[in-house]
Amino acid sequence: MNKSTESTLEQVRRQLDCTDEAPTLDTLAKTARLSPSHLQRAFRRRYGMSPAEYHRARRFGQLKAALREGAGVSDAVYEAGFGSGSRVYEHSDRLLGMTPASYRAGGAGASIRYTTTDTSLGRLLVAATTRGICSVTLGADDTELETRLANEFPKAARERVDAGREEWLDAVIARIAGQLAGSTPTPLHCRPWTWPPPHSSGAYGMH
């Protein structure tokens, strides 16, 4: 990827960081002077996710931060730039692995299973409840990742599962690691971010 394309993609990423409503792919492509398909492929190759997925992950990161700081659910939804709470609740299982209220309470009542693996960007932790993925985090080592998980969900029961014990979780973490292969670290890669994004193919549940 040449320097000009890298600069263009960084400009697109900054544009996504500065807006509550995600611009359409066509709008971003016109700004970047690239075709929509080229922009989609290049952005995913560099950052490990599409522009739309990046924007959703950023907003849900803001939602999580507001909830952890003690904001009411309605206030947190508003602060994160969502038009209505229904859009959050519609995807809360896949994006939070629990209700926003449960997340705000530190995962009280939730049972979380997690595992880790190596990626090109560092160690990756994926955690899930019976409702869906609740945390996907990159870090330097397992100790750091497990500390983050404990800090994010202090009231939840947490259990590490080794490779082979949960086939579906092994498949999820392999898929995410594959998506990250060759991508470039971003602010989203430095803190927990959500997976899978809304409307992506496949939802995961505990079996």
Per-residue pLDDT of the chain (207 residues; tens, 9 = 90+): 677 888 999 999 989 888 878 889 999 999 899 999 999 999 988 877 789 888 887 888 888 889 988 899 888 888 887 766 776 777 677 778 898 999 999 999 999 999 888 887 788 888 989 888 888 888 899 999 999 999 999 999 999 987 666 677 777 777 777 666 655 555 444 443 344 333 333 333 333
- What is the pTM (predicted TM-score) of this model? 0.68
What are the helix (H) ranges across 69-120? 73-79, 85-96, 100-104
